[in-house]
Amino acid sequence: MAKYETMLVTTATLDEEATAALVGKFKSLIEANGTIDSVEDWGKRRLAYPINKENEGVYTLINFTSEADFPAELDRVYKITDGVLRSIIVAKEEAVPAKAETEAK
């Protein structure tokens, strides 16, 4: 099992309940194929450039663990779902502890 991070930008024209239902759909899909480590709702933010004539989007960040073939299926579902402006799925690397800097005396 590998760790992944997905950022999802949904349309801001949906009300809060519809946005929560849309994100809930993706969360249940992820839970059916792996485990969710954390979910961060970044809220409504202005986009850097218009996407489909929209200037704002609702950002959601989800960290999850799943098999290697699942992210392709999740990306396919993102692409066919109305209300999703942009999405990205990134494989997370294992955290490498930073070396402690020593003070010169």
- Confidence (pLDDT) at 96: 58
Distance between CA atoms of residues 85 and 17, nearest Å: 18
- Confidence (pLDDT) at 54: 93
The CATH code belonging to domain 2-85 is 3.30.70.60
Angle separating helix axes 16-33 and 70-80, nearest 10 degrees: 160
What pTM was computed for the model? 0.82
Q: What is the pLDDT of residues 39-71, one digit of tens each?
A: 999 999 999 999 999 999 999 999 999 999 999
Q: pLDDT above 90 covers what percent of the chain?
A: 84
Q: What is the pLDDT of residues 76-91, one digit of tens each?
A: 999 999 999 999 999 9
- Confidence (pLDDT) at 104: 58
Q: Domain-by-domain residue ranges, the chain?
A: 2-85
Distance between CA atoms of residues 12 and 85, nearest Å: 10
Q: What is the pLDDT of residues 26-35, one digit of tens each?
A: 999 999 999 9
Contact 37, 65 (CB under 8 A): yes
